[in-house]
Amino acid sequence: KQEVTQIPAALSVPEGENLVLNCSFTDSAIYNLQWFRQDPGKGLTSLLLIQSSQREQTSGRLNASLDKSSGRSTLYIAASQPGDSATYLCAVADSWGKLQFGAGTQVVVTP
Amino acid sequence: SAVISQKPSRDICQRGTSLTIQCQVDSQVTMMFWYRQQPGQSLTLIATANQGSEATYESGFVIDKFPISRPNLTFSTLTVSNMSPEDSSIYLCSVVGGRDPFPGETQYFGPGTRLLVL
């Protein structure tokens, strides 16, 4: 059974610092990996999707890497801003599109 | 992309009653999913609701408790039946891509329905 783990569970950084969020999964037979952002009282916003054949994906200040063989992904957020404060979730998809989520990393960026 | 709306956005219900949650998508999609997020927890898949077939449920979820309808390519409902306080959660629907998606496409989520059962 696939298990997804996110470390750390919570993270607080001053504005301007880079954020590094880690995600690991136990079964490397994934179809893709997605990073989401969840704001309090709101739904999920997709940030990046990495196909199983890819090693990296970038969007603006966000960069996500994927090492499928070792079961790891890392989300980097450069030059953090207070607006980046949210819970970040990683999820792996199987061939049916079903997502298995990690517990999330709660990020606070202080001005 | 897909824009998803859910109704109601939140509700407070009495034990033993049922609530039907609606999910509306702004485009035709084949693959639709229902997730639950219990307080302080991450998301757990309840079932897959693809149009034209019966919903398929994940381990720990049964049709009698969570009946699902998928009458067309833009709409679905999830009913939480005979509710207990343990059903207090956020319920979210999600869709993959468009009408002919492949699982590698981005999954989009609705805003969620916050349910509190007293």
Reported as a single tens digit per residue, the pLDDT across A34-46 is 999 999 878 899 9
- Is A44 in Cβ contact with B92 (below 8 Å)? yes
Mean pLDDT of B90-105: 74
CB contacts of A89 in chain B (<8 Å) are 42-43
CB contacts of B96 in chain A (<8 Å) are 97
Q: Is the pLDDT of residue B100 over 60?
A: no
* Mutant choice from A39, A101, A105 vs B, greatest count of B C-beta within 10 A: A101
DSSP state of A32: E
Nearest to A44 among B101, B104, B109 (CB): B109
Tokens of residue A53, six digits: 């054949």
Q: Is the pLDDT of residue B52 over 60?
A: yes
Backbone angles phi, psi at B39, to 5 degrees: -50, 125
Q: What is the pLDDT of residue B98?
A: 57
Q: Long-range contacts for B43-52 (Cβ within 8 Å, ≥24 apart)?
A: B43/A44, B43/A89, B43/A91, B43/A99, B43/A101, B43/B92, B44/A101, B45/A98, B45/A99, B45/A100, B46/B78, B46/B91, B47/B78, B48/A96, B48/A97, B48/A98, B49/B76
**Strand pairing class (A62-67; A56-59):** antiparallel
